[in-house]
């Protein structure tokens, strides 16, 4: 017996909380992938990343409304369309922001932090003015509701599985893009030696812009996934930004595997502890552990030893 | 000899002395004379943020260490003061209607029946004063030592401090029974039996605050003009070179971070005294990053600029959010972007590049009457 | 590999023994041993990627050795912190001029003056006659006497290199390590630098990394040739120039 639970119940709770953490995990992974790509590529921290996510969430919500009102027949598959649109919206905004702001600040990473924070305030207020201060919720198609029973006690939510599968696909796609494609090779070349990459004919400015856009676009998809676990409001993105940074830093910047592993560890720890503690204490403990580990091992979990 | 000028060390006499006198005249004479007590109290509140901004000039402007968690220290200082005031306001006579008299009201509401041990020292005013300085500084030391000894800096440091600010806020909000939760510690009435809510008390507290701020500015000017100040600039520029010139860089960073934390803590304590409450909304991510913008607007390299920055941005915030609340975030966001992209040295930078060159001309224009009355005529210039 | 301090020869200024550092499996320096005498001018040469700069990094503590020992006057450096190594008497100049651009030449030199190196010491530090005289003396040596109040940012590349050398000299180190001191200099500057180095080497032991063979020939007592993290050849300039292994490495590919 553990507390009031039998072992059976205890492990079932662990398993259920684990699955419940999957959606959180997916949001973390998608958010962190975008952030890690941008940070790894240009050493730029995008404080408005959460707002890019929320843009994706609003687009998903808007698409849902549109389909319900004008093409109800498409409702079962609207989520896929919404995700594509969310990506496009965030990508476009990302490219614009890179052009208007970020490219002038590459040599001053700390200043980028402040400037993108300013951007996040503006975006928040824009959402509030356009969509209202009230939080909005997304209606899921029927097939995504409900859950699959695994055992008598353990049930797996279908939307969790769906998001999970989608995240895996995106993570694989990103990995292929970064490590197998010609474009990915250019990105890595610019990361390692910007001047030399430019000298051998890579358009480094375009690579920067597309990378920033891609990172933001993935955040938009994260926003789509986010609509399943939280309601979308103007300031919802801000709550995630610190967690996401910790995920990126904890995993070791520049390591995709590390990012995914740390997203998994943090989301599962938080989700599991939430069942036994109050939500706020679970979060405090998780973040405190991460910060504590980072103080002992600042380079993160996965990193290469290189000559500075 | 070309070296005669360089032999004179940079001191805070000269330009800084004039700036200091102007600022002192402004906050000690002009504001108290020109403003009614309600407005003066507001200015006093703004000035508590100037403590943080001055610390940030040393830490961020000179040392290049951007802390996005100054709210931690402002908050800890403020809470230490608020805890003392709260205990004084929660005497058994005042709280007779509670199920456990003699403890703060929020504890009683949350079924806490005994004062927690870590609250006990705050029954004593001297101990509370020590805690105001010591708790935030010690906390800064722990964070600073852990990070700087391991050579964590730049963006990483900023993010970690921000995370700590987030954690502290969640903790304070979550532990309602011990901290007052999201509402914070309200209803603070007296300091050693002296009612701090009266107009005369507010006036006196304003002056205490102003004098403390001027003291902090003097300390900051001393640090800036010492070799330590030049080392901060050197570390910002070429950290390795400083290290290989025989300095233990981490110690210098820890010191300046702790100093900035101590400054912020004094500001926080004076905030709690003047405003009469303290809440987590002055601790977390948003207030912390706003404190950076006070410093950035004033000029990250100017101690005096930071004070004016804190005054101006807060004044604008009050005015804007009273009349156009929806525009305030746009304005604030725009301010962040503008100050970073167009005016990286803030108001002080604009002053230096645009106003200061005009001053001699202005002086000349003002002088003619004096010259006419003088017995010897100045040769034509 | 460990070495007992008792048995190690103590009359060397610097004894590097079995030094190895590996970056993720790649051994940038591999079981390297060499010895530097008091008042010796040692030049390290070698093709790109031979590990020259890494060796200096290891000696001054910038990079930590995977194994092996570095003893300076009998003191083990591998376990000391960077600033302690400096206090022990080792000064290091970086490949790219590393100076404080926002400070004046005077202030650059002053910060290297060996006093007030702690937090409190730097707060209490006063610019007295001793400091001023010493700074001026060094400035004279590095041809920057007329630029004491100049902001370092606007110095020429060569002047920056000199300034950094001056910053080392004011520390009064026993061993000076210079990483490509004449790289990127004009011919005139090069001549002046050789002159400067010739004054310096009368009072210090020096380790220099350099590619310019003419320059090496001028100053070197002994030359160590590094290749793939190991000593390929060592001896007089004449000796290494005719060593078939060295010829092979430089010309063979």
Average pLDDT over residues B343-351: 86
- Is the CB of C119 less than 8 angstroms away from the CB of B223? no
Question: Using 50, 70 and 90 to split pLDDT, how confident is the model at B9?
Answer: very low
Mean pLDDT value of segment C211-221:
79
Cβ contacts (< 8 Å) between C57 and chain A: which residues?
307
- Picking from B234, B238, B251, the nearest residue to C119 by CB comes out as B251
CA dist., res. A290 & res. A6, Å (int)? 30
Looking up residue C136, the CATH number of its domain turns out to be 3.40.50.300
* Domain membership flag for residue B75: yes
pLDDT given for residue B56 in this prediction = 95
> Are both C156 and C175 inside the same structural domain?
yes
Enumerate the residues of chain A whose CB falls inside 8 A of the CB of residue B329. 121-122, 124-125, 128
Q: By the CB < 8 Å criterion, does A182 face chain C?
A: no
| Chain C residues with at least one Cβ partner in A under 8 Å | 23-24, 28, 54, 57, 62-63
Distance between CA atoms of residues B45 and B74, nearest Å:
13
Q: Is residue B269 part of a domain?
A: yes
Considering the domain architecture, whether residues C80 and C27 belong to the same structural domain is answered as: yes
pLDDT for A249 equals 82
Which of A10-14, B113-117, C24-28 ranks highest by mean pLDDT?
Answer: B113-117
Mean per-residue pLDDT over chain C, rounded? 85
Q: Do A307 and C24 touch (CB under 8 A)?
A: no
Closest CA of chain C from B258, distance in Å: 12
Closest residue in chain B to residue A288, using alpha carbons only = B167
Q: Give the number of residues written for chain B.
A: 381
Any domain includes B197 = yes
pLDDT in tens, C100-149: 999 999 999 999 988 888 889 889 888 889 999 999 999 998 899 899 99
Neighbours of chain C (3+ CB pairs under 8 A): A, B
Instruction: Evaluate if residue C47 carries a pLDDT over 70.
Output: yes
Residue A287 placed within a domain: no
Tens of pLDDT, residue by residue over A244-287, are 888 888 887 667 788 888 888 888 888 777 777 776 788 888 88
Q: With an 8 Å Cβ cutoff, are B255 and C106 in contact? A: no
How many domains is chain B built from?
A: 1
Q: What is the mean pLDDT of residues A144-148?
A: 72
Residues B287 and C97: their CA atoms lie apart, in Å, by: 40
What percent of chain A is modeled with pLDDT above 90? 16
CB contacts under 8 A, C 98-137 vs B, are 98-104, 106-107, 110-112, 114, 116-119, 122-127, 132, 136
**B4-37 burial, b for 16+ CB within 10 Å, e for fewer?**
eebbebbebeeebeebbeebeebbeeebeeeeee
pLDDT in tens, B172-216: 998 888 888 888 898 888 888 888 888 899 999 999 999 999 999
Q: Nearest-CA distance from C253 to chain B in Å?
A: 36
Contact partners, residue B145, CB within 8 Å, separation at least 6: B250, B254
Q: Give the number of other Cβ atoms within 10 Å of residue A156's Cβ.
A: 17
CB pairs under 8 A between B and C: 98
Task: Specify the pLDDT at position B369.
Answer: 52
Residue at A299 is within a domain: no
The pLDDT of residue B257 is above 70: yes
Backbone φ and ψ for A149, nearest 5 degrees, come out as -75, 125
Query: Distance between CA B133 and CA B268 in Å, rounded?
Result: 10
Residue, of B167 and A293, whose pLDDT is higher: B167
Confirm whether A222 is domain-assigned. Answer: yes
In a domain, B4, yes or no: no
Indicate if C110 and C191 belong to the same structural domain: yes
Of the pLDDT bands very low, low, confident and very high (cuts 50, 70, 90), residue B279 is very high
C98 contacts on B by Cβ (under 8 Å): 238, 240-241
**CA C41 to CA C34: how far, in whole Å?**
13
Q: Is pLDDT above 90 for A65?
A: no
Burial class (CB in 10 A: 0-12, 13-18, 19+), B362: exposed
Asked if B226 lies within 8 A of C123 by C-beta distance, the reply is yes
Asked if A305 lies within 8 A of C24 by C-beta distance, the reply is yes
Collect all residues of chain B within an 8 Å Cβ-Cβ radius of residue A105: 340-341
Q: Supply the pLDDT for residue A300.
A: 67
In a domain, A82, yes or no: yes
Pairwise CA distance, residues C111 & C92, whole Å: 15
Quick check: C24 and A306 CB within 8 A?
yes
In a domain, B373, yes or no: no
In a domain, residue B242? The reply is yes
CB-CB contact of C90 with C60 (8 Å): yes
What average pLDDT does range B64-82 have in this prediction?
Answer: 94
Print the domain residue range for B48.
10-366
d(CA C253, CA C249): 7
Q: Does A307 touch chain C (CB under 8 A)?
A: yes
- Please state the rounded mean pLDDT for residues B69-87: 94
The rounded distance, in Å, linking the Cα atoms of C183 and C187 is 11
Range ranked top by mean pLDDT from B9-13, B183-187, C199-203: B183-187
- Domain membership flag for residue A294: no
pLDDT value of position C217: 80
Nearest C-alpha in B relative to C90: B244
Do C151 and C191 have their domain in common?
A: yes
Looking at residues C140-160, what average pLDDT do you find?
Answer: 90
pLDDT at residue number C38 = 85
Residue B347's pLDDT is: 86
Tell me the average pLDDT of chain B.
Answer: 86
Could A43 and B155 be called an inter-chain contact, meaning their C-beta atoms sit closer than 8 Å? yes
**Across residues C239-247, what is the average pLDDT?**
84
How many Å apart are CA A287 and CA B166, to the nearest integer?
9
Instruction: Tell whether B271 is covered by a domain.
Output: yes
Q: At what angle do helices A109-131 and B325-341 cross, to 10 degrees?
A: 160
Cβ contacts (< 8 Å) between B6 and chain C: which residues?
A: 104, 106, 148-149
Is pLDDT above 70 for B308?
A: yes
| Three state DSSP letters for B31-71 | HHHHCCHHHHHHHHHHHHHHHHHHHHHHHHHHCCCCCCCHH
Q: Is residue B211 part of a domain?
A: yes
Place of tokens 């909000």: B173
For residue B73, which of B127, B5, B144 has the smallest C-alpha distance?
Answer: B144
Residue B53 contacts residue B145 (beta carbons within 8 Å): no
* Contact A304/C at CB under 8 A: yes
End-to-end alpha carbon distance in chain B: 29
Domain range for residue C195? 96-220
CA A187 from chain centre, in angstroms, equals 20
Q: pLDDT tens digits, residue range A196-229? A: 888 888 888 888 898 899 999 999 998 888 888 7
Q: Alpha-carbon distance A177 to A78, whole Å?
A: 26
Euclidean distance between the first and final Cα of chain C, in Å? 33
User: What is the mean predicted confidence (pLDDT) over B208-227?
Assistant: 94
Residue B371 confidence class, pLDDT cut points 50, 70, 90:
very low
Residues C148 and C113 in one domain: yes
Mean pLDDT of B255-272: 96
φ, ψ of residue B194 in degrees (nearest 5): -95, 120
Name which of B151, B129, B29 is nearest B85 in CA terms: B129
Report residue C36 as tokens. Answer: 């530097």
Count of CA atoms in the C-beta half-sphere (13 A) of B122: 25
| Predicted TM-score of the model (pTM) | 0.88
- Out of A45, A104, A294, name the one closest to residue B160 (CB): A294
Place B5 in a pLDDT band, splitting at 50, 70 and 90: very low
Which residue in this structure is represented by tokens 């040392």? Answer: B63
Cα separation of B49 and B314, whole Å? 9
Residue C61 has pLDDT above 60, yes or no: yes
Which range marks the domain in which residue A138 is found? 19-234
Q: What is the count of structural domains for chain A? A: 1
Q: Give mean pLDDT, residues C43-48.
A: 86
- Residues of B in CB contact (< 8 Å) with A are 64, 66, 68, 146-147, 150-152, 154-156, 158-160, 162-164, 166-167, 170-171, 173-174, 285-286, 289, 292-293, 296, 326, 329-330, 332-337, 339-341, 344
| Segment C147-168 mean pLDDT | 90
Q: Which residue of C has its CA nearest to A304?
A: C24
Highest mean pLDDT among B71-85, C77-91, C184-198: B71-85
Instruction: Check whether B2 has a pLDDT greater than 50.
Output: no
CA nearest to A307 within chain C: C23
**Chain A interface, mutation test: which of C20, C23, C28, C56, most A Cβ atoms within 10 Å?**
C23
| pLDDT level of residue A153 (50, 70, 90 thresholds) | low
């Amino acid at each position: 017996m553990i507390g009031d639970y039998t072992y059976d119940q205890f492990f079932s709770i662990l398993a259920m909380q684990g699955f419940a953490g999957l959606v959180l995990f997916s949001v973390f992974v998608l958010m962190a992938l975008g952030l890690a790509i941008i940070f790894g590529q240009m050493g730029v921290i995008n404080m408005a990343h959460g707002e890019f996510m929320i843009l994706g969430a609003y687009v998903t919500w808007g698409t849902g409304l549109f389909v319900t009102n004008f093409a109800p027949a498409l409702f079962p598959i609207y989520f896929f369309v919404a995700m594509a649109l969310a990506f496009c919206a965030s990508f476009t905004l990302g490219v614009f922001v890179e052009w208007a702001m970020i490219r002038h600040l590459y040599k001053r990473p700390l200043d980028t932090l402040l400037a993108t924070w300013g951007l996040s305030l503006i975006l928040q207020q824009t959402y509030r003015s356009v969509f209202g201060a009230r939080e909005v919720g997304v209606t899921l198609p029927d097939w995504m509701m409900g859950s699959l029973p695994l055992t008598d006690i353990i049930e797996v939510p279908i939307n969790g599985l769906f998001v999970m599968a989608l995240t895996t696909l995106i993570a694989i796609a990103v990995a292929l893009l970064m490590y197998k494609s010609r474009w990915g090779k250019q990105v890595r070349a610019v990361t390692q030696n910007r001047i030399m990459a430019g000298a051998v004919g890579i358009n480094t400015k375009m690579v920067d812009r597309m990378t920033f856009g891609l990172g933001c676009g993935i955040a938009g998809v994260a926003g789509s996934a986010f609509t399943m676990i939280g309601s979308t409001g103007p300031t919802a993105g801000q709550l995630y930004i610190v967690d996401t940074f910790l995920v990126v830093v904890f995993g070791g910047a520049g390591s995709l595997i590390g990012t995914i592993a740390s997203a998994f560890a943090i989301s599962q720890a938080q989700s599991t502890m939430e069942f036994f503690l109050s939500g706020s204490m679970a979060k405090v403990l998780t973040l405190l552990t991460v910060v504590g580990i980072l103080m002992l091992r600042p380079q993160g979990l996965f990193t290469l030893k290189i000559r500075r | 000899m070309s070296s005669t000028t360089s032999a004179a060390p940079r001191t805070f006499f000269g330009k800084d002395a004039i700036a200091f006198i102007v600022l002192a005249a402004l906050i000690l004479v002009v504001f108290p004379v020109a403003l009614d007590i309600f407005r003066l109290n507001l200015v006093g509140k703004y000035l508590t943020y100037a403590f943080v901004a001055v610390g940030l000039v040393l830490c961020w402007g000179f040392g290049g260490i951007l802390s996005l968690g100054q709210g931690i220290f402002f908050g800890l200082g403020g809470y230490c003061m608020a805890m003392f005031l709260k205990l004084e306001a929660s005497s058994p006579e005042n709280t007779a209607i509670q199920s456990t008299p003699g403890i703060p009201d929020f504890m009683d509401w949350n079924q806490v029946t005994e004062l927690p041990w870590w609250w006990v020292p705050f029954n004593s005013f001297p101990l509370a004063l020590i805690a105001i300085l010591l708790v935030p500084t010690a906390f800064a030391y722990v964070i600073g030592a852990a990070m700087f000894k391991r050579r964590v800096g730049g963006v990483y440091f900023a993010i970690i401090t921000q995370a700590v600010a987030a954690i502290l806020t969640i903790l304070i909000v979550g532990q309602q029974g011990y901290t007052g939760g999201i509402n914070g510690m309200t209803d603070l009435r007296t300091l050693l039996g002296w009612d701090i809510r009266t107009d005369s008390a507010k006036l006196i507290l304003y002056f205490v605050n102003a004098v403390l701020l001027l003291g902090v500015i003097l300390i900051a000017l001393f640090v800036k003009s010492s070799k330590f100040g030049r080392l901060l600039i050197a570390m910002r520029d070429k950290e390795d070179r400083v290290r290989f010139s025989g300095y233990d860089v981490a110690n210098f960073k820890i010191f300046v971070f702790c100093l900035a934390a101590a400054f912020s803590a004094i500001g926080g304590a004076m905030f709690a005294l003047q405003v009469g409450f303290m809440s987590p909304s002055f601790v977390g991510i948003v207030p912390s990053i706003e404190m950076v913008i006070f410093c950035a607007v004033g000029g990250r390299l100017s101690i005096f600029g930071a004070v004016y920055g804190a005054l101006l941005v807060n004044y604008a915030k009050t005015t804007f959010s009273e009349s156009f609340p929806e525009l305030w975030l746009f304005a604030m966001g725009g301010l962040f972007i503008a100050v970073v992209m167009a005016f990286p040295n803030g108001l002080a930078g604009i002053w230096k590049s645009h106003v200061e060159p005009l001053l001699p001309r202005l002086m000349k224009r003002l002088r003619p009457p004096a010259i006419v009355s003088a017995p010897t005529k100045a040769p034509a210039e | 590999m460990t070495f007992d301090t008792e048995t190690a020869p103590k009359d060397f200024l610097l004894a590097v023994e079995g030094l190895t550092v590996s970056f993720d499996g790649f051994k940038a320096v591999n079981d390297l041993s060499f010895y530097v005498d008091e008042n010796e001018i040692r030049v390290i040469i070698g093709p790109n990627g031979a590990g020259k700069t890494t060796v200096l990094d290891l000696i001054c503590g910038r990079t930590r050795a995977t194994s092996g020992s570095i003893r300076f006057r009998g003191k083990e450096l591998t376990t000391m912190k960077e600033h302690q190594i400096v206090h022990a008497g080792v000064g290091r100049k970086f490949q790219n001029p590393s100076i404080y651009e926002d400070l004046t030449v005077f202030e650059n030199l002053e910060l290297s003056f060996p006093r007030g190196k702690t937090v409190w010491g730097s707060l209490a530090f006063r610019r007295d006659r001793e400091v001023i005289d010493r700074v001026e003396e060094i400035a004279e040596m590095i041809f920057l006497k007329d630029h004491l109040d100049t902001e370092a940012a606007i110095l020429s590349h060569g002047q920056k290199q000199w300034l950094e050398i001056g910053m080392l000299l004011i520390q009064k180190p026993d061993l000076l390590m210079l990483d490509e001191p004449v790289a990127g200099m004009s011919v005139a500057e090069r001549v002046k630098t050789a002159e400067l180095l010739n004054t310096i080497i009368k009072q210090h032991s020096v380790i220099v990394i350099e590619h310019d063979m003419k320059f090496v020939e001028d100053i070197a007592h002994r030359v160590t040739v590094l290749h793939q993290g190991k000593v390929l050849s060592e001896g007089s300039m004449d000796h290494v120039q005719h060593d078939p292994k060295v010829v092979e490495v430089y010309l063979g590919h």
